Copies of this chain bind each other. A is one copy, B any other.
Amino acid sequence: MTSGTDHQQQEVRAILSKARERRQRALNEFESKKLLAAYGIPVSRESFASSADEASGQAKAIGYPVALKACGADLTHKTELNGVSLNLRNAKEVRKEGERLLSLEGCEGLLVQEMVKGHRELVVGMTKDARFGPCIMFGLGGTLTEVLKDVVFRMAPLTPKDALEMIEEIRGKKILESFRGEPPVDMNRLIQILIALGKIGTGYEEVSQIDINPLKIRPDGQPVAVDALVVLSAQAGERAAQPERAEPIESESRRPKTGEDWKRLFEPRSVAVVGASSVPGKPGYDVIRNILANQYEGGLYLVNPKGGEILGLQAHRTIGDLPDGIDLGIIIVSADKSPQAVRECVAKGIRHFVMAAGGFAEYDQGGAEIQKELVNIIQEKDLHVLGPNTSGNVSTPHKFTSTFFPLGKIRRGNISYIAQTGNFATHTMKYILSGEHFGVARVIGLGNAIDTDECDALEYLENDPETKSILMYLEHVKRPKRFLESAQRVTLKKPVVMLKGGATEAGKKAAVAHTASMALEDHLVDGLLKQAGIARIPEYTQLVHVGKALAMSPLPKDNRVGFLAPSGAMLVVLSDLCTRLGLDVPVLQPESVQRLQEISPPFILMRNPVDIWASATTKGIEYAYREGMEILLKDPNIDAVVPILLLTKDTGIPSYDFIIELTKRYPEKPILLTFTGEAECIGECKSYLEPLGVPTFAEIEQPFHVLSVLNRCRKAMDRPLLK
């Protein structure tokens, strides 16, 4: 994607260099609009006048009534300075107001402007974030912009699809339809404007922020920039004026990881545990126990200054005693000893490491310095490191793990976790293994991510044949641009689901322009994830629920749910929930309704959702659910089925095999099971069905939350590839 035609670029360069010469920090409104107009963004009819007389002549040419504005590069808050006069109807008024405005401090001339009619005001803008780069904003504009906060962001450059999605995402999108006698907004034009802002943002380093507020909608539906502000980047010697994020972008310059690198980390032929311990419960002991429990088939070498035998293996006293050419080093000594340990390992030919200990930059200044030393070693020696402060990785197809939390044998599966937390190689994994009956392919604990970061991890899993779906937990996106690029590719092949921690507002940046002040990290992340096709989830537990569904079920073709419950109230509240979640509970085909009526006593009106109570209590639980579920599964209007199973000993426990049967017969439609009734029976049903591949959920709302996530994953995978 280019950032504009030659002609456009020439025009813009001319405006910018003139402003540079004058050491302007912003373009005045007239210049700002000229710049925007060069990129095809429609602006109000207007002209620049140096005197009140000149202004009155121009006003006549533009046509009364007009607006008159004080114009000057430093006049970025004209309204507050009383620098705007609206609705001037004749030469006398223009001259009088013109004189007044010219007397304002900083006023370099007058902007004579048509009065644009129309009831609707939008805001569009561009701001540059140190990590996210140029980001485009769209939302409801006018004086209420910052009260309503109804804005969305995307990273530039934008595709037409990105722009359209932004437009459709605002809460107040109804304003874009016919409105108070005015026709719908010209959407193509809006899209062009957003794309053009993206081009300006990516094309000109000198432009740091753009605000168009209001972007007014004329009574014919055409958008027009009525006020505009282009803020310039600080020039040499002015850097302090630029708001920038503090974090360095450490990862950008590193060597990309190769397949060979990943093999050493996830399929090592041999492993050294540096900091092996003979004390049960210590990380340096439990890591060995885990490796053994998973029946790791490669060579396993231990280093412990005391030597001796640990779990049946002889420990070496020094790293120097290790054989040469070990694939992977697990460094489990304390932070201060880590750099030396790594150096010694490097001397023995180890270039890949899992660094478990904490106490680095996440802790204090001393730790930060050790971490810096590690970064230097990594760069100098071209190492590949996971961590530090990571609980390690898991790679079940290779029967390997480096976690130090006592997990025992880790169940193999087809989903993988990338997490900026150790939990998925520690206690949350323990919960999954002991309570949720699904397994994993890889777990990548990023820890402090001084080398391997979320982009690397995602790119590894992109081509990992063992990984069918990816779940992520992140608190920071270190390299948003690279991440977007990779994720857009990955989400076409595999579902990617993310929980973003630290989503609450961290306080606004002080900034000249609206766009920048509203570009909070979480807004940017939200835009990034949507743009990338990643399904964002709000709660931690969904990393487990959605993981289970992805591990066991197909993705639904679309958002149309059929469900059965032994309770009218459940039908009502779950229908409410579906509406909130964007799931459709469609009308069934007439044959299905008729067939449902046949399996029920006549005094219940059958439809979707299905009130299965009467059928279940008169014709038997198994018959009612089997027939009811199959009717829904068969119906072409239904993409997924949720049975709320009534299980009590007194009302009868079915043989659950019919559910296995149905999953086999309708392999393309997810069946997510949930329950009501007796806790013991529910537990038994779960324990029977889940190992056979049917996901169950303890609470009746959960399958619906999960389906809405699965549906977003499917939509991302189905999205057209066109730019």
**Which residues of A are interface residues toward B (Cβ below 8 A)?**
79-80, 87, 89, 93, 119, 140, 143-144, 146-148, 171-172, 174-175, 179-181, 281, 286, 335, 358-359, 363, 406, 419-423, 426-428, 430-431, 434-436, 473, 475, 499, 501-504, 539-541, 566-570, 572-577, 579-580, 603-605, 646, 648, 650-651, 675-680, 682, 698-701
Contact = CB atoms under 8 A, between A and B. Distances in A.
19 contacts: A79-B180, A87-B87, A119-B143, A140-B144, A140-B147, A144-B144, A281-B651, A421-B568, A421-B569, A423-B569, A430-B648, A431-B682, A434-B679, A501-B572, A502-B572, A539-B701, A540-B569, A540-B700, A540-B701
A722 to B, nearest CB: 31
Nearest to A575: B504
A363 B605 contact: yes
A93 B577 CA distance: 56
B172 A431 contact: no
B539 A678 contact: no
Contacts of A119: 143
Contacts of A501: 569, 572-573, 576
Contacts of A281: 650-651
Contact of A180 (B143, B574, B603): B143
Contacts of A359: 603
Contact of A80 (B80, B180, B358, B577): B180
A172 B423 CA distance: 39
A645 to B, nearest CB: 10
A475 B700 CA distance: 18
Contact of A541 (B503, B677, B679, B699): B699
A512 to B, nearest CB: 16
Contacts of A604: 363
Contacts of A89: 89, 93
Given A421-B567, A700-B541, A572 B143 contact: no
A697 to B, nearest CB: 11
Nearest to A172: B147
Contact of A677 (B430, B436, B503, B574): B430
Contacts of A421: 567-569
Contacts of A174: 146-147
Given A335-B603, A502-B576, 12 more contacts: A87-B87, A140-B147, A147-B174, A147-B179, A421-B569, A434-B678, A435-B678, A475-B569, A475-B572, A504-B575, A539-B573, A541-B700
Given A504-B576, A605-B363, A144 B175 contact: yes
Nearest to A648: B430
Contacts of A651: 281, 406
Contacts of A577: 539
Contacts of A504: 575-576, 579-580
Given A119-B143, A406-B651, A701-B539, A567 B423 contact: yes
A35 B438 CA distance: 69
Given A502-B576, A575-B504, A648 B701 contact: no
Nearest to A540: B573
Contacts of A648: 406, 427, 430
Contacts of A431: 675-679, 682
A421 B613 CA distance: 13
Contacts of A541: 699-701
A646 B427 contact: yes
A714 to B, nearest CB: 24
Contacts of A603: 335, 358-359, 363
A279 to B, nearest CB: 12
Contacts of A502: 572, 576
A286 B430 CA distance: 43
A83 to B, nearest CB: 13
A427 B567 contact: yes
A423 B677 CA distance: 10
Nearest to A501: B572
B435 A682 contact: yes
A679 B701 CA distance: 21
A603 B360 CA distance: 9
Contacts of A434: 677-680
Contacts of A93: 89
B172 A679 contact: no
Contacts of A423: 567, 569-570, 676
A419 B569 contact: yes
Contact of A698 (B80, B406, B698): B698
Contacts of A575: 504
A568 to B, nearest CB: 6
Contact of A678 (B147, B430, B699): B430
Most buried by B among A604, A650, A698: A650
Nearest to A676: B427
Given A421-B569, A576-B501, A576-B503, A679 B435 contact: yes
Contacts of A539: 573, 577, 701
A335 B601 CA distance: 14
A420 B570 CA distance: 11
A427 B573 contact: no
Contacts of A700: 540-541
A475 B572 CA distance: 8
B181 A80 contact: yes
A650 to B, nearest CB: 4
Lowest 5 A-B CB distances belong to which pairs? A435-B679, A421-B569, A406-B650, A501-B572, A434-B679
A499 B501 CA distance: 29
Q: Which of A93, A541, A573 has the most CB of B within 10 A?
A: A573
A678 B503 CA distance: 29
Given A504-B575, A540-B700, A541-B699, A427 B569 contact: no
A649 B712 CA distance: 38
Contacts of A503: 576
Contacts of A419: 569
A144 B214 CA distance: 15
Contacts of A678: 430-431, 434-435
A569 B447 CA distance: 11
A499 B567 CA distance: 15
A150 to B, nearest CB: 8
